Amino acid sequence: MKNTFARFGKSFGSLLVVGGLLACGLFAGTTALVTVNLPHAVTVGNATLPSGQYTISAVDMASGDDLFIIRSDKGNTAITIQAQKVMLPTHSEKTQVTMSKDGANWTLDTLVVGGTDVSFQFTK
């Protein structure tokens, strides 16, 4: 019986270490692109973010998918959203985020990365 608990403890400990390393790898693969102040509540994918300051970070995915994490400056809101990469005809001078308004609802539309010809269209 004592041997069974020892094996379980070792297996559980190994699982925790591997899980921690994977989580660290995920967060190490993020790159902060822009800090934005949302003046209104904004719909992003299926979520609605209240007004406030947010950081948009890119997540480096081995699959090549373009994912972004949007975090509030207070740390109480974090969402992940997928985007489609769109090549611009010319280089953009600055990083910017665009929103659109449909009636009373604001939606996060694109992220243009300054110094490049890359833009990201957020999925709706």
Q: What's the angle, vertex CA 82, arms to CA 78 and CA 84, rounded to 5?
A: 145
Residue 22, pLDDT score:
40
**pTM of the full structure:** 0.68
Beta-bridged to residue 68, according to DSSP, are 58, 81
Q: What's the angle, vertex CA 12, arms to CA 16 and CA 6, rounded to 5?
A: 145
Q: How far is CA 14 from CA 40, 59, 115, in A?
A: 45, 26, 44
Q: Which amino acid is at 124?
A: K
Q: What is the pLDDT of residues 16-68, one digit of tens each?
A: 333 443 444 444 455 667 899 999 999 988 889 999 999 999 887 777 778 99
Q: Which residue has the higher pLDDT, 10 or 112?
A: 112
> SS3 breakdown of the chain: % helix, strand, coil, rounded to 5?
20, 50, 30
